[in-house]
Structure formats: structure tokens, C-alpha cells
Structure 1
Amino acid sequence: MGSYPDTVNLLEYLRSRSSVDCDCLDTQVATTLGPFVDCTSNQADAYLELLTPKRTSLLKKSAALAREILSDFTGVSYEELAVEISMVNLSLAVAPLITGVIHVMSNPLLDATPAIVDNAKRIVSLCSRLEPGFDTSRLCIKIVSTWEGLQACHQLSSIGINTLATTLFTMEQAVLAAEAGCVYVSPFVHELKAFFDETYQDEGPILGHCLQIQQYYERYSYRTRVKAAGLLTADEAMRLAGVTSLTLAPALVHTLSKSEDSKKEVEALSLFKQGSESQGQASERLSLIDDEIKFRTAFAKSEGGKGQLKTMQAIDIFRQYQIKAESLMRDEDVARSE
């Protein structure tokens, strides 16, 4: 049945207002639900993808290469290196199917700035090693939005390595990320726990946070772009139509692709009104990059401490999947040596 003249496909409308990215490492998703701009990923995505039968060969090759080149790197275990190689391999497989950037997350178990910097540099090196012709300007390193992580972003930005600040729930993190030179920030609309625990009830999406951050960056001419993450529903996606970009799980993309609504009603939903500046004033400009105490104090107080708690909970979930992925590589190494 054809659409009425005043109706729009929700996914097509969203793509007309914002860049839509794939939050998945499944090449089939990128092929069937695209076109996508960027491809984002994390340790959970990588671990779950590596468990699928179609990735058995990639897992084995990643493990074997880690053993082969481990001596080329200092301060990294076989398991860590094998996970990094597999995550880069998975992302490189998606790269030809998108038009933009692949986002590879650094090891969330690392909590010191020098170690995070070394990790990011190694990921860039592995990318070039695994696919020498790949343009590493299409690679972005996702780093957790702690003080140490954002200071690492600052150092990496100074040497031309693209970074994205992830696990971001507060304005203070967004301010510091912009000062650090991050290319992107990913404000999480929902707590990450809501995606991994069906019994957990999130207190509510912080959609307005994405608008506030984008206005702040525009007002003060920061190059950092907002990449909204952690959306659960089509309604949330429509309310964020007009944000610079969104990274969406496959199930949500599929729902949007099969949904239509009145164009007038869809446009009315968006927090980002087209051609309007009546969104409210952006926050007063802050500077946190050189003041650790000021950042930590403001971050701890933000939203009554909820922002910091959500950040730590999200990092803990990613750490659990990093450990699972390392265990998977350890098991593969044991099986290989038997």
C-alpha cells in the first residue's frame, strides 16, 4: 500500500535530518539496513559477534596473529592484543559497507592516561598492519569519559588520532571532551544497564541533554560533534531528528524502516526545530581541561551524582565484556596449543 502524500517513512525522514550510524559489527545488517554513515562498536558488540559461527575463522586468525606479533609490543598481554586485533578486524570488515568512520573502543579496563594513549596508538597501528591501504583518518578511537580518558583524548588529538568520548552522561564531560579535541561525543540517552538487564527500569531518557550539548558546541564554535547513543524507541529517535548523528541498534533501525507517520506530527516531535533558534540559551562557557579538581567536583555533583554513577555503571559493563572477550581468546589459545 502506498503512502499518503503527507506521510513519511521514519527512517528516511531521520536520515534527512541527521546522520544515521550502525551500532553493530554484523556486515549483514550494514548491507540490508543501510546506507549507514559510521559504524560504532564496543566490547559487548565484539564479544557477541565473535560467538557467532560465521566469525570462527576471524577469531582463530586474530588469536594466531596475536601470538605471532606479541613480541612487537610491550606492556600488553596476549589476551588484550588478541581482543584488539579481533575488534579491528571486525570493524574493517564493515568499513567498505559504510561511507564514514569505524569506531573502535579502547580497553575499558585501563584507567591511567598513559596506558589509554598507548592502547589507542596500538589500535591505529594494528589497523594499518591488518589493512595497509586503509585510510586511518576513517578510524576513531572510543574512549570512556573519565578525567583520565579525556586527558588521553587530548593527547591523542594533538597527534592527529580521532577520538570519541563515550559513556557520557553529563554536561561537564561534554565540555571537557570538546576542550580535549574529541571529534565526537556520544551522550547516552538511557543508562547502559537498560540494554543488558531486562528487569532494570531506567528513570527516563535524557534527550534534552543531546540538544544542550549540540547548542553549546555551536555557540562556542567547537568542532566536536554529537553522536547520540543508547536509544530504545522510535519516538526517541524522532525527538532527536536534527542532532548531528545517531548510532542505532539494528532492531531500532528495522522498526524505523517499517514505520510511517504524518510528516507534520513527526516534525513537531523533534527537539531540534528546523529554522528556529527558540531552543533556549546554551550553557555558559566553561573551562575544565587544566583543572582536575574543578572537573571532578562538578562531575560528582552533576544531576545529584546520577551522571557519575551512570558513567561508572556503563564502564563496569564494558569491562565485564572485555574480560569475557579476553577469556574467549584465552580459550582459543589453549585449544590451539593442545
Structure 2
Amino acid sequence: MTSSALSQLKTLTTIVADSSDLTAIEKFRPLDATTNPSLITAAASQPENKTLIEDAYTQAKQEGYTADALIERTIDILTVKFGVEILKLIEGRVSTEVDASLSYDTQATIAKAKELLALYAQYGIEQNHILIKIASTWEGIQAAKALEAEGIHCNLTLLFGLHQAKACADAKVTLISPFVGRILDWYKKAENVTAYPIEKDPGVLSVKAIYDYYKAHGIQTEVMGASFRSVDQVLALAGCDLLTVAPNLLAQLEQEQRHVTAQLIATQHGQNATTEISQAEFKDQLEHDLMAFQLLQSGIDGFIKARDQLNLLLRQSFGEDAELQP
């Protein structure tokens, strides 16, 4: 009997759960897991996570936070608490995202990353189990460069172009998350088409180009394809260092019986020297890549909106607290 597509894929690629759903993570038992503000907000809305929310709020109050700062601290604590619960179910790393509103502030991003790590340390979690997730703006990449120099590992997200990938390589970040599905969505709308054959899928091709560039130049930064719309996209990147996949697609892959082969194969061409991309070059290339420019900003805006929704959810939950009254 042929093993499932998921089982075959796991022999070629490290599979990561793109979820804060503890039940799904327990079911699929990935090596690593990724979270983001949208996933945290969705998880916080589930009744079974009420105790986590209450504990996070209580801890923030005990630390002396009040008013708006109380809610913001609660969100950070809750984000870490979800990470701690996830790490009880997996052997590897969990990606925890810095507040997206800090995406254009290098020093604030560094400070927030260290706050999150200090929270994890309170719960006895070692630093090597955490990836600090930061948007791939120039400022975010420079924050990651400084953090990596201190041994703090980072996952650069909302990555849509080779120029972002090059800057991340220059910064020696641990891992990047190029987005597949959002690129596909953008091109479908821009070119007014309903679908692309998988061999011409612009999201898949973007990740392949980044992967090939990294491997050709001996770059150690790991490539983790993210934001998938279908199992075909996932399987088209079989052989990538890592793939972070939502539970619904993991379930489909578990049911698929098709034969899976590596589509990405690491080959080095002896060309290891690269020229670092400057800030001016980065900004210029980003501004001239309409897809990457728009998706980076809309992704940041979306994560900020998700955090704002969580802020509102917490205010509604604890609104009777006098400290939260206007």
C-alpha cells in the first residue's frame, strides 16, 4: 500500500504546522510550528483557551501594568503562552512574531524580541526552541541581523522577492518564509486569470528561485515555503528545507496517495561569493516590484489589524475592570 503524500513529503522536507490550534498540532505532530497574530487571535477566540487568556491577563496585572499597557502586555504574554503550549507537543522550534506595528523600527523590534524571549525564559523555555518572527522590511532585517549576532534566531516573514531574500542572507538570519499563496493571489487578480498550471504558478516559481539562489551560493539560511493555497503548491516544493502548512492542507495530504518526488534539489555551482545588497538598492528594488511592495505592506497591515482585534477581544472580556474604563 502506498504511504500517504504527507508521509512521503516528510522524508524530503521538514513539515511545520502553520497553526496555533493545539488540537491540530497534537494530531499531526510536526517538528516545528509557526504562529502569527491572525492565528493567535483565532485561537484566543476558542472557548477551550479561556484559561490561557485569563492567566495572561492576571500575570500582566501582577506585573503592574495598567490601562492600554495592560492589554498590550497581556497580548505578549498570551502569544508566548501559546508558544509554550505548542512546545509541549513538538520537539523543535516555535516561531513567535514581534508586534507588526514595529516593522519599520529596528531598535523597537530588537527590544520586543528580547521581551518575548524573557517571557519564554520565565516558563523555562530555552532560547534554541524559539524563532523570533519579523517582517522582511529593511528595518526588520537589520533588527534580525543584530539579534542573530547575539545568538537569537529569527524567522523573516512576509517575504515576496529575491531582493528581500538576499538582504536576509546578508544578515545571516536563521530562516526565511517566502509566501506562495499570496503571490499567486496577487497575480491572479493583476492578470485577471482564475488559475495557473502548477509549473507556472508564480508563488511556487518565486520560492524555487530563492531556494536555487541560496543553494548555488552556499547560503546557510533555511528556506521555508509558507502561505499555501493547495496541496499541489505544497507538493510542487517538495525538497525545500521546510514547508509550513495549515492543518486543513495537512489533512488533505494525509488522505492523498499520489507518489511524491523532490522538486527542489540543492546544487552548488561553486559560486559562493555574493555582494551585499545596500539599503538604497533594497528600497529601489522593492519599490519597483509592485507585487512585493504591495504584499509586504498589506501583510503588515493585516497582522496589525489582527492584533487590534485581539486587543478588542480582551477589552470586551475584561471590560468590567475599572482600569480599562475610558
| TM interval, short-chain normalised | 0.7 to 0.9
SS of equivalent residue, structure 1 residue 17: coil
Q: Does 1:9 align with 2:29?
A: no
Q: Distance in 1 between matches of 2:132 and 2:162?
A: 21
CA contact (8 A) 1:25 1:90 kept: yes
Q: 1:239 to 1:280 in 2, by over 3 A?
A: farther
TM-score, with length taken from structure 1: 0.85
Aligned to 2:108: 115
Q: Distance in 2 between matches of 1:308 and 1:293?
A: 15
Q: Distance in 2 between matches of 1:329 and 1:201?
A: 39
Q: Deviations for 1:59-105, whole angstroms, at most 9, x for unmatched residues?
A: 0111111122255x9xx922221111001001110102112101100
Q: Does 1:313 align with 2:310?
A: no
TM-score, with length taken from structure 2: 0.88
SS of equivalent residue, structure 1 residue 109: helix
Indicate the RMSD between aligned Cα atoms, in angstroms: 2.6
Aligned to 2:41: 47
SS of equivalent residue, structure 2 residue 107: helix
CA contact (8 A) 1:44 1:318 kept: yes
Q: Could you list the runs of 5+ residues in structure 1 that have no partner in the other structure?
A: none
Query: How far 1:191 moved relative to its partner?
Result: 1.2
CA contact (8 A) 1:39 1:101 kept: yes
CA contact (8 A) 2:60 2:77 kept: yes
CA contact (8 A) 1:60 1:332 kept: no
Q: Deviations for 1:270-297, whole angstroms, at most 9, x for unmatched residues?
A: 5315xx85x9999993412xx2111100
CA contact (8 A) 2:71 2:315 kept: yes
Aligned to 1:173: 164
Query: How far 1:140 moved relative to its partner?
Result: 0.8
Q: Distance in 2 between matches of 1:324 and 1:202?
A: 32
Aligned to 2:190: none
Aligned to 2:15: 20
Q: Does 1:323 align with 2:308?
A: yes
Q: 1:327 to 1:158 in 2, by over 3 A?
A: same
SS of equivalent residue, structure 2 residue 155: strand
Q: How many residues of Structure 1 are paired with residues of Structure 2 in the alignment? A: 311
Q: Does 1:233 align with 2:225?
A: no
Q: Distance in 1 between matches of 2:252 and 2:54?
A: 34
Q: 1:176 to 1:310 in 2, by over 3 A?
A: same
Selected match of 1:300 from 269, 279, 287: 287
Q: Does 1:127 align with 2:127?
A: no
SS of equivalent residue, structure 2 residue 76: helix
CA contact (8 A) 1:102 1:139 kept: yes
Q: Could you list the runs of 5+ residues in structure 2 that have no partner in the other structure?
A: 187-192
Q: Distance in 1 between matches of 2:84 and 2:27?
A: 18
SS of equivalent residue, structure 2 residue 219: coil
SS of equivalent residue, structure 1 residue 318: helix
Query: How far 1:201 moved relative to its partner?
Result: 6.9
